[in-house]
Each structure stands twice: as structure tokens, then as C-alpha cells.
Amino acid sequence: EKNALPDHIEKLLQDRQIKKEQEGPYIHILPREELKEYEESGIITSMESRTRAYIKIQDGCNQFCSYCIIPYARGAARSRASQDIIREAKSLLEKGFKELVLTGINTALYGSEEDFRSEEKDVYGIEIIVKQLNDLPGDFRIRLSSLEPTVINASLAERLLKYDKLCHHMHLSLQSGSDRILKAMNRHYGRKEYLEIVEVLRKADAGYGLTTDVIVGFPGEREKDFKDSADMVKRVGFLKTHVFPYSKRPGTKAAEMREQVDPQTKKARSAELIRIAEESSRDFLKGTIGDRRKVLFEEYDDTSGMVSGFSDNYIKVYCQVDDEKHGQCLLNTLKEVKFSEIYLDGVRGTFCDK
């Protein structure tokens, strides 16, 4: 899980310090300045999932959020060569995968290096690889993993909307709804810029799925700052909101900040924001009832007699089938479904071709 990466890095740094004290200096992680080029590790030809394949397109990060150790441990942003990505994508599509998920440490930074070479004209950043993948033949879709509003803006979001194979779902990390706290986090955007991205996406598609992360209890967060975060969750109408109480990461600026929020306050704010986020998610789902969307079916449950999968806007969708044979035949296929009611952690639907 990407969210657990800071904990692994923290433990690695602690272990390195202990060994350094015992045995003297040694190199376990290359210095940041030496991490300049993407290290190609070969293409992935198979994975556990039979429907969704993950393709790593970049490594490293240049953002230096005040709470994050990753830029120090993973080095500067480095993009993978587009020809290697396309080669891997073709191989996975030939094996039958129907969804390609583009991943990285900071996916939105793809193609951001000054010396990055691309033959595409009037296309830049993450759009470069999206366009090339979108041009590949076949019945499949593309999904972007977590994106940063420090990199993505309303203009780029609008440009991405023209690619028909790109899912109408974006995990756009908010982290805080308070401009004051965002500044302390060294996040280079504010509420206004974030909402401009949302407006562009929802104007094009009212059911555009947005998911996010929010940190509560960041050093110096006051009640008004927390209310600003709660307000943003309500205003945007996220499909899913991952709420994290702030925890110190040794070696980061935030760990040394004054006004550390006490554990009880962080716990209370986290519980409150989770409650608000769940209400927001349910309201979003209600607004999609009656919609028709393509669903990639991934599982058949013989107890309920249903198949389930995810729509392009990342809603879990359940459909009743005639029998197990019918259900198994639907796996790893894209079918148009009409949403009929809220059901479990998503919606229930009916096949449009019936």
C-alpha cells in the first residue's frame, strides 16, 4: 500500500542509523543527487489480478511537503521512457487485461523534467503518456492513480477530458481544506485552485468520481482549520475520503513544528471527518442513480448470485445474473449498466443490453 510507504521508509532510516552507530558510515540509500534517471527494471508480463494491471511510469518527487520524507528517500522526479511504458502496455493488453492503472511516487510529475524527450507536439506532462496509451487499439480503459493539485491544475484537467479511454475518476489529494495549513504543509495550491479543478471536471461530467486524502491534526491546526477541511469535503462531494491523523516523520520539517495537536483532539477530529465523508459519499452515490456507465466486472459471488466490478468513475457496482455460468462469462468484460439503487458499498444496477 502506497500509504504505508512513509512508515517503511522511517523504519529503514532508523535501522540505518543504528547500523551506522554500530559499524560506522555506510551507504544503504543512494544520495538524492545521484538519483537522476529512471531505473528500468523490465516489463511486467503478469499479475495476480485478471482484469486490472498496474504500470509504473515514474519515480521520485520534487514537492517536499513538510510532513513527507519520500523526496529525500526516493530522489528527484524521474520519468520512465514512454516507449517502455507502451511496450509493457501492449504486452498486458495482449494477455487480456482491460484496465491499465498508471502509478508512481508522484504520478502527475510524469514528463516534468527539463530534459524529458517526447515526440508529441502541444502535449506535455502526464498528458503525453495518456495520449499514447489512448491511441492504442482495443476495448480497454486507462486509470490514473493518485494525482497532486500541486502539479495538476484546471487547465490540464480539462485537456485530459478529451481522451475517451481515460476513466472519469481522479484521486486528487486535498490533505487540508485550510489555506493556512496548506501553506504550512508546503502544498502549492489553495482552496480556490482545488475547487477550480473540481468545477472543470464536474462541469464535463456531473458524476465524475473524485477521491482524496485528508490529514487531520497537522501541527498548528485549529478548530477553524478543521472546519475548513470539513467544508471542503462537503462542498466537493467526494466519492471516498481517506482520513489520516497526522503522525510525526523524523527528518521532516513538520516534526519540528510547534503547536503539535494532542492525540485526543486528533482522534475526535478524525472520527468527525470520517462521519462527514461517509455522508458525502452517500450523497454522491444518490446523485448517480439512473446513470448509465461502463463497468469492468471482476468478481462473481455464488451466495448472492451477483457479479461486481467498478465503473469508470470508481463506483462499486453489483448486478444480478442468471446463474454461475452467466456470472463467470461476464468476468473481465466491460458492460454498460444502469444504476438503480444504493447497495452495500456502492450501487446496484441492471444490464442495459437486456
* Model pLDDT for residues 145-163, shown as the tens digit of each residue: 989 998 999 999 999 999 9
Q: Looking at the predicted structure, is the pLDDT value of residue 44 above 80?
A: no
CATH code, domain carrying 252: 3.80.30.20
Total count of domains within the chain = 2
Kindly state whether residue 186 falls inside one of the protein's structural domains: yes
Indicate whether 140 and 280 sit together in one domain: yes
Q: Looking at the predicted structure, is the pLDDT value of residue 26 above 50?
A: no
| φ and ψ at residue 299, rounded to 5 degrees | -140, 150
pLDDT band at 120 (very low <50, low <70, confident <90, very high): confident
Most confident of 44-48, 123-127, 216-220: 216-220
Predicted pLDDT at 333: 97
Kindly state whether residue 18 falls inside one of the protein's structural domains: no
Kindly state whether residue 8 falls inside one of the protein's structural domains: no
Paired residues of 236 in beta bridges? none
Indicate whether 225 and 321 sit together in one domain: no
Q: Looking at the predicted structure, is the pLDDT value of residue 27 above 70?
A: no
Residue 85 domain boundaries? 34-288
Q: Looking at the predicted structure, is the pLDDT value of residue 32 above 80?
A: no
Q: How far is CA 288 from CA 206, 212, 231, 309, 352, in A?
A: 9, 19, 22, 16, 16
pLDDT band at 353 (very low <50, low <70, confident <90, very high): confident
The mean per-residue pLDDT over the stretch 212-230 comes to 98
* Model pLDDT for residues 236-283, shown as the tens digit of each residue: 999 999 999 999 999 999 999 999 999 999 999 999 999 999 999 999
Q: Looking at the predicted structure, is the pLDDT value of residue 20 above 80?
A: no
Query: Cell digits for 329?
Result: 462469462
Indicate whether 157 and 245 sit together in one domain: yes
Q: Assign residue 121 a region: left if phi > 0, alpha if psi is -120 to 50, beta otherwise?
A: beta
- Strands 346-351 and 334-343, bridge-based pairing: antiparallel
Indicate whether 72 and 109 sit together in one domain: yes
Indicate whether 185 and 91 sit together in one domain: yes
pLDDT band at 115 (very low <50, low <70, confident <90, very high): confident
* Model pLDDT for residues 45-82, shown as the tens digit of each residue: 555 677 999 999 999 999 999 999 999 888 999 999 99
Predicted pLDDT at 39: 67
pTM of structure: 0.88
Q: What is the 3-state secondary structure (H, E, C) of the chain?
A: CHHHHHHHHHHHHHHHHHHHHHHCCCCCCCCHHHCCCCCCCCCCCCCCCCCEEEEEEEECCCCCCCCCCHHHHHCCCEECCHHHHHHHHHHHHHCCCCEEEEEECCHHHCCCCCCCCCCCCCCCCHHHHHHHHHCCCCCCEEEECCECCCCCCHHHHHHHCCCCCECCEEEECCECCCHHHHHHCCCCCCHHHHHHHHHHHHHHCCCCEEEEEEEECCCCCCHHHHHHHHHHHHHHCCCEEEEEECCCCCCCCHHHCCCCCCHHHHHHHHHHHHHHHHHHHHHHHHHHCCCEEEEEEEEEECCCCEEEEEECCCCEEEEECCCHHHHHHHCCCEEEEEEEEEECCEEEEEECCC
Indicate whether 310 and 284 sit together in one domain: no
For cell 451466495, name the residue: 303
Indicate whether 131 and 150 sit together in one domain: yes
Instruction: Give, rounded to a whole angstrom, the gap between the first and last alpha carbons of the chain.
Output: 39
Q: Looking at the predicted structure, is the pLDDT value of residue 4 above 80?
A: no
Which residue in 96, 15, 17 sits closest to 298, CA to CA? 96
Indicate whether 243 and 325 sit together in one domain: no
Q: Looking at the predicted structure, is the pLDDT value of residue 35 above 90?
A: no
CATH code, domain carrying 334: 2.40.50
Predicted pLDDT at 23: 63
Predicted pLDDT at 37: 64
- Alpha-carbon torsion, ordered 272, 195, 312, 145, to 10 deg: -80
End position of a domain, from candidates 237, 254, 288? 288
* Model pLDDT for residues 201-216, shown as the tens digit of each residue: 999 999 999 999 999 9
Q: How far is CA 274 from CA 46, 55, 241, 277, 329, in A?
A: 36, 31, 8, 5, 38
* Model pLDDT for residues 177-198, shown as the tens digit of each residue: 999 999 999 999 999 999 999 9
Kindly state whether residue 14 falls inside one of the protein's structural domains: no
Kindly state whether residue 97 falls inside one of the protein's structural domains: yes
Indicate whether 253 and 299 sit together in one domain: no
Indicate whether 83 and 228 sit together in one domain: yes
